[in-house]
Amino acid sequence: MFWMFTAGLSFVVMTALVKSLGTTMDPIQAAFLRYVLGLVFLLPALRSIMATHLTRRHLTLFGLRGIIHAVAVMLWFFAMTQIPLAEVTAMNYMTPVYVTLGAALFLGEKLAFRRIAAILVALVGVLIILRPGFREVSAGHLAMLGTALTLGGSYLLAKLLVRDIPPSVIVAHLSIWVTIALIPFAIAVWIPPSLRDLGVLFLVASFATAGHYFMTLALQAAPVAVTQPVTFLQLIWATILGALVFHEGVDVWVVAGGTLILAAVSFISWREAVLNRRDLTPPSIAPKL
């Protein structure tokens, strides 16, 4: 639980750093530079990357995943400039719900009644956050819906790859392929970045890497059903940071909707742990950007 707490704090700091960039840089260019600067963290895994034999199928899946994840990253960086920090965090909780649906539709996993009920509860949580008809649903909200959906597709492709390839190599290839996929989009909007922006984006890459590392330690130390409820703290930190640093209002509807989504995801995790269904896709809440 301590490691998951630390991971959640790292991810929230990462998100806040991205938001601190404001409109000084195009979101697409910021996403590209975040991944370019993050490539330095691949150096320890370079030997494993070079030693892993890849088939044409593996390369195809890596390339497809890189494109899908690049779209997710661009949408997420755009959403950060449009909507409050707490809303970004709360809506990101929908990713494992999409993963659950996709695993049932494309990977043949069973979708029991309890899972269906939990998914419906999560969707109610999204409606509480968005409140269509009662307030404007902005482009930032739509971008976050797209982010969660495309991240879900990325994770499903990772599940296919992990059957043959070590996870560390899969993570390394994700960084490489996303960087490549972002190049043409970054060129189209490129302006010379300031040293401050480069420094902030390097910190973003650092906290993202640290968050993934801490999350791995958490999942090694305890089942997902134990560590997942701790991720609710991400929404608390995001709400506090948004209010204190970015002067964003505290929206109780966002907190309520995010709590409902996370409760649904935690229930799915708990049921899988009880039934010990190792072949099912475990939900993942980390904003792996």
Residue 282 in any domain: the answer is no
Q: Which residue has the higher pLDDT, 45 or 179?
A: 179
Task: Write the CA distances from 172 to 38, 91, 149, 166, 288, integer angstroms.
Answer: 10, 26, 22, 10, 13
Beta pairing partners, 132: 135
Residue 287 in any domain: the answer is no
Q: Which residue has the higher pLDDT, 249 or 65?
A: 65
pTM confidence score: 0.85
Write the pLDDT tens digit of every residue in 96-126.
888 888 888 887 777 778 888 888 998 899 9
Taking all residues of the chain, what is their mean pLDDT, rounded to a whole number?
85
Residue 49 in any domain: the answer is yes
Residue 288 in any domain: the answer is no
Residue 173 in any domain: the answer is yes
Q: What is the pLDDT of residue 285?
A: 47
With cut-offs at 50, 70 and 90, classify the pLDDT of residue 227: low
Sequence-separated (6 or more) residues with CB below 8 Å from residue 135: none
Q: Which residue has the higher pLDDT, 23 or 139?
A: 139
With cut-offs at 50, 70 and 90, classify the pLDDT of residue 44: confident
pLDDT at 137 exceeding the cut of 60: yes
Residue 217 structural domain: 2-275
Residue 31 in any domain: the answer is yes
Residue 223 in any domain: the answer is yes
Q: What is the pLDDT of residue 197?
A: 92
Write the pLDDT tens digit of every residue in 182-195.
999 999 999 999 99
pLDDT at 208 exceeding the cut of 60: yes
Write the pLDDT tens digit of every residue in 4-40.
888 888 988 998 898 888 778 899 999 999 999 989 8
Q: How many domains is the chain partitioned into structurally?
A: 1
Residue 162 in any domain: the answer is yes
